[in-house]
Structure 1
Amino acid sequence: MGDLFEIGTGSLLPADEQIKGDVPRISVKTTDNGVLGSYNTAENQKARHFENVISVNFFGKAYYHPYKASFDMKVHTLKILNHPFNKETGLYFTSLINHRFAGQYSYGSQLSSSKLKNENFRIKVPVHTDGEIAFDYMETYIKELEAERIKELEAERIKELEAYLVATGLNDYVLSDDEKRLIANFRNWGGAWYSFNVKDLFGKSVRGKRLKSSDRIIGKLPFVTAGETDQGISAFVGNNVQIFKRNTTTIDMFGSAKYRNYEYGGDDHIAVVNTESLPKYASLFVTATLNKSAHTGKFDYSRNFYAKDADELQIMLPITTHQKPDYELMSRYIRAIEKLVIKGVVEWKDKQIKATKKVVSKNNVD
């Protein structure tokens, strides 16, 4: 070990100097690559910094660190002599060291830097016929392992995706001729569109009720407010609040409409349009038209969108020969759009499979 590596040791960082920052601190941990946390040690003269090294703590547990970090006094550092570390060689040596020291050290019998430097501490490494260390072999071996792991992960993701598509009934993504015509003629459905008042269609919209953050009790009910992040869900609460029905649409204070396929609560920054009697896909279509009508830039912090504004909205919908909203046609159209989205996901999945196979094949050849 002493012939292979430059061996160093970390240093103590007093509690009063442990200021949170962005430099990882490597300690005697057997999880998270030994990272205790991140501290502002860049300008601390007492903290010892190393980069692109292997750490070995007093339990004999090793990790590779390609980044700059500070190290605890119970952690030793190993830097290869006369050859640069890269990710592959660093990981290969780390594996060898972990195998060498597995189960040998504890609080009662700790691994010290002097022991590491002892000539009896040896590890077996691959070499060429001329006796030189086979760094090229190490790099190729680790790349092949990584490629195989990527392949396994992709297989797991693909299996999960396929199971999800089957469980949700989304595994059918082939467009019928009728659906192809629907999409192709979307903007020219015989001119059979009409402007409807939202209140006339769905009754009066409802406004949510304010619930201060400090009063919220952690629970399972999604609580909706204004915003695009996480679909406007600000928390999950257990408070006794009004519960709005699934298959309804919320419009927030900025005029942004979102479909909700679950029960939820809402604060006073949202209006709820009662579309629950519609088929799911028709409700999704209506949500899109509500968003087009309300989310125009007219509403902001100084001019909020309220339930009364929802009642005044006019939305354009395709109609039947009886001049009624054609919810069946809307449902078929949204289902066709959903198939296109699913098809895009499946095509992405297939590309990932091909890319993975290409990586594995290249590494095997190299």
Structure 2
Amino acid sequence: MKWGAFSFGRMFNRIAQGHRLKKEDQTSGDLPFVMAGITNTGVVNYVSNLIERFPANSITVDIFGNTFYRDYAFGAGDDTGVYWSTEKHYSKAVMLFLAAAMRKSLEGQFDYGKKLRSSQSLNLKMMLPVKNGEPDFAFMEKFIPEFMRQLVTGVEHEHVEKVNAYLAVTGLKDCTLTAEEQKAVDDYTHVVRMDRTKLEAFRLETLFGMATRGKRLKSADRIPGSLPFVTAGEKEEGVSAFIGNDVTVFPENTTTIDMFGSAKYRNYAYGADDHVAVVHTENLPKNAAIFVTAAIHKASYTGKFDYGRNFYAKDADDLVISLPVKDGEPNYDFMALLIAAIQKLVIKDVILFAERRIAAYRKAICS
């Protein structure tokens, strides 16, 4: 492919600057109003003011060189230049190619200290494919749809790979509920949630023995290593460091409650500081332990505990949680089944959400 330099003024016979319209003067309407910036491609408002309406199939370039193709009519502020042609009918594909070429040519050249004005841009040049010394519009027409197709294909492939990887990690083949899982969801929805007598209260110490309190390990004394070290807080699930110190290692499949009462399930071995209480759920099936963690969090994270009054291991021992029962005992099989179903439903919702986004993406860039 041969390339040549072509001025903005040669490619567009209409180059104009937008008009100043203060924010306080903008009246609500349906006309997109474009100003300098990349957020929402520069569309800052929808207005009804009597201002110049620039035509669809135009390109905007703001004072910083940010370049966007517009396939709709719009208004523009005085910090935005508009480029279009009334002499040549450029297709959407060609205009997209030109916008990309302009963006490439302007990259890094303009900022607050050196602003771009459309009146000064006529002799600025972009690089375009050429044939017989002229812009090769036929190539641009073919290139853009193929580029868009490959772009969408890449996004779809990435989505499929992520879904498959997540299913593999979670040990799932698909997101279809089994008959038992569907029944568990129905039972919980229509029986447990609506009839509180199906839940019974249990003291945490009675179920799992006394909770264990972690031990203080100052930041300065922590040796880098591979053991997750849990402290109070929500950031990174409370994991503040990975250490190599000789500390008590708590087993996976247990629940931590920090000094604020926030409970979290841990599917890995870890250390913990003195602001963390460990509830020994390790003998439960994994999904049942997750259910119990949710029940603990509901009972402990109520706003009762803060910097002035910390949650300690003794508070965990006295904590009362509500669980589904069978013959008067916690029904861990039901809990495990319900969490397995919820996991599938959540993954299914994420997949459907991603598929809707991909469909919208395909429609937006391939139409």
TM-score range, shorter chain: 0.5 to 0.7
CA contact under 8 A between 1:170 and 1:342: conserved in structure 2? no
Q: 1:133 to 1:3 in 2, by over 3 A?
A: closer
Could you say what the CA RMSD is over the residues aligned between the two structures, in angstroms? 3.7
Spell out, residue by residue over 1:130-161, the C-alpha distance to the aligned partner (whole angstroms, 9 max, x if none): x9857898599557525522431331231232
Amino acid at match of 1:283: A
Q: 1:216 to 1:150 in 2, by over 3 A?
A: farther
Count of residues in Structure 1 that have an aligned counterpart in Structure 2: 267
TM-score when normalising by structure 1 = 0.63
Aligned to 1:46: none
Aligned to 1:181: 183
Spell out, residue by residue over 1:112-142, the C-alpha distance to the aligned partner (whole angstroms, 9 max, x if none): xxxxxxxxxx966448x9x985789859955
Alignment of 1:202-221 (within 5 A): 202-221=208-227
- Alpha-carbon distance, 1:226 to partner: 1.1
Alignment of 1:168-247 (within 5 A): 168-186=170-188, 188-189=191-192, 191-247=197-253
- Alpha-carbon distance, 1:214 to partner: 1.8
2-side partners of 1:254 and 1:91: how far apart?
A: 52
- Alpha-carbon distance, 1:210 to partner: 1.4
Aligned to 2:34: none
Q: 1:90 to 1:329 in 2, by over 3 A?
A: same
Structure 2 regions of 5+ residues with no counterpart? Answer: 10-62, 69-81, 85-94, 107-125
- Alpha-carbon distance, 1:349 to partner: 3.5
Aligned to 2:268: 262
Structure 1 regions of 5+ residues with no counterpart? Answer: 7-49, 53-64, 68-81, 98-121
CA contact under 8 A between 2:227 and 2:270: conserved in structure 1? yes
CA contact under 8 A between 1:279 and 1:331: conserved in structure 2? yes
Q: 1:96 to 1:204 in 2, by over 3 A?
A: same
Spell out, residue by residue over 1:210-245, the C-alpha distance to the aligned partner (whole angstroms, 9 max, x if none): 111222222211111111121111111122221110
- Alpha-carbon distance, 1:176 to partner: 3.0
Matched, 1:331 2:331: no
Amino acid at match of 1:279: P
Amino acid at match of 1:314: V
2-side partners of 1:335 and 1:247: how far apart?
A: 15
Aligned to 1:35: none
1:358 equivalent among 352, 357, 363: 363
Matched, 1:155 2:153: no
SS of equivalent residue, structure 1 residue 317: strand
TM-score when normalising by structure 2 = 0.63
Spell out, residue by residue over 1:73-126, the C-alpha distance to the aligned partner (whole angstroms, 9 max, x if none): xxxxxxxxx969x985364368799xxxxxxxxxxxxxxxxxxxxxxxx96644
2-side partners of 1:88 and 1:271: how far apart?
A: 60
Spell out, residue by residue over 1:293-352, the C-alpha distance to the aligned partner (whole angstroms, 9 max, x if none): 10011000100000010001011112221x221111111111111111121122223324
1-side partners of 2:232 and 2:127: how far apart?
A: 60
Matched, 1:51 2:64: yes
CA contact under 8 A between 2:6 and 2:128: conserved in structure 1? no
Matched, 1:281 2:294: no
2-side partners of 1:350 and 1:230: how far apart?
A: 28
- Alpha-carbon distance, 1:178 to partner: 3.4
Aligned to 2:326: 320
2-side partners of 1:212 and 1:136: how far apart?
A: 67
Aligned to 2:312: 306
1:89 equivalent among 98, 103, 106: 98
Amino acid at match of 1:303: R
2-side partners of 1:2 and 1:155: how far apart?
A: 36
Amino acid at match of 2:224: I
2-side partners of 1:94 and 1:51: how far apart?
A: 10
Q: 1:136 to 1:216 in 2, by over 3 A?
A: farther
Matched, 1:252 2:258: yes
Aligned to 1:272: 278
CA contact under 8 A between 2:259 and 2:306: conserved in structure 1? yes
1-side partners of 2:104 and 2:298: how far apart?
A: 57
CA contact under 8 A between 1:89 and 1:135: conserved in structure 2? no
SS of equivalent residue, structure 2 residue 330: coil
Amino acid at match of 1:280: K
Amino acid at match of 2:180: D
Q: 1:93 to 1:137 in 2, by over 3 A?
A: farther
Aligned to 1:344: 349
Q: 1:136 to 1:246 in 2, by over 3 A?
A: same
